[in-house]
Amino acid sequence: MANISEVLISEEQLQKRVAEIGAQVTADYKGEDLLLVGILKGSVPFMADLMRKIDLNVKIDFMQVSSYGGGTRTSGVVQIVKDLDSDITGKNVLIVEDIIDSGLTLDYLKTYLSGRGAKSLKIATMLDKPSRRKVDLKPDYCGFQVDDLFIVGYGLDLDQDYRQLPYISWVK
């Protein structure tokens, strides 16, 4: 197993921040319906926690993408492995992501979804690594900004391991 050395963001810190984001989303979309679109698999814990902190009429859907090229970093060439089940015409869509690194995946997804007539299209990410950005992309909601470390836990994996950790750690 890898050297998972320390807790970077504790379970308590994560839960507190998710509740704050949920309250902000509730206020921002007051009186509206919302479709949360989780990006598999990393968004699963954040999605599950966030949806329960939003006091609106919420529906959920999922997409799965994979970036060609393998390795731990994205190549920017994105393949849609699973598309949305639902029609997003006229809907408020909030993409729920685990982390934004280069920004290439979400940049592609935003473009991919923007032609489908959504009423609004925004991004919520638990983590953001702004120092790694290759495209001009800013999340509308962000849990925490992190340094250029390889992060695991709370949905984030190293070769599919460590997703279940309730806190955020990093690999040395």
- Which of 29/105 has CB closer to ligand IMP? 105
Q: In sequence order, what are the residues at sequence separation of 6 or more whose Cβ sits closer than 8 angstroms to the Cβ of residue 151?
A: 8, 99, 127, 168, 169, 170, 171
Near Mg ion in 26-65, by CB under 5 A: 42
Report the nearest approach of ligand IMP to the CB of residue 54 (Å). Answer: 21
Residue of 49, 98, 101, 107 marked catalytic: 101
Among residues 153, 105, 150, which one has the least CA distance to residue 126? 153
36: number of Cβ within 10 Å: 22
Among residues 99, 95, 158, which one has the least CA distance to residue 133? 99
- Which of 56/168 has CB closer to ligand IMP? 168
Q: Is 139 in the site for Mg ion (CB under 5 A)?
A: no
Distance CA 8, CA 13 (A): 10
- Which of 22/38 has CB closer to Mg ion? 38
**Residue 101 bears catalytic tag:** yes
Contact residues toward ligand IMP (CB under 6 A) are 42, 74, 97-105, 150-151, 156
Residues that bind Mg ion (CB under 5 A): 42
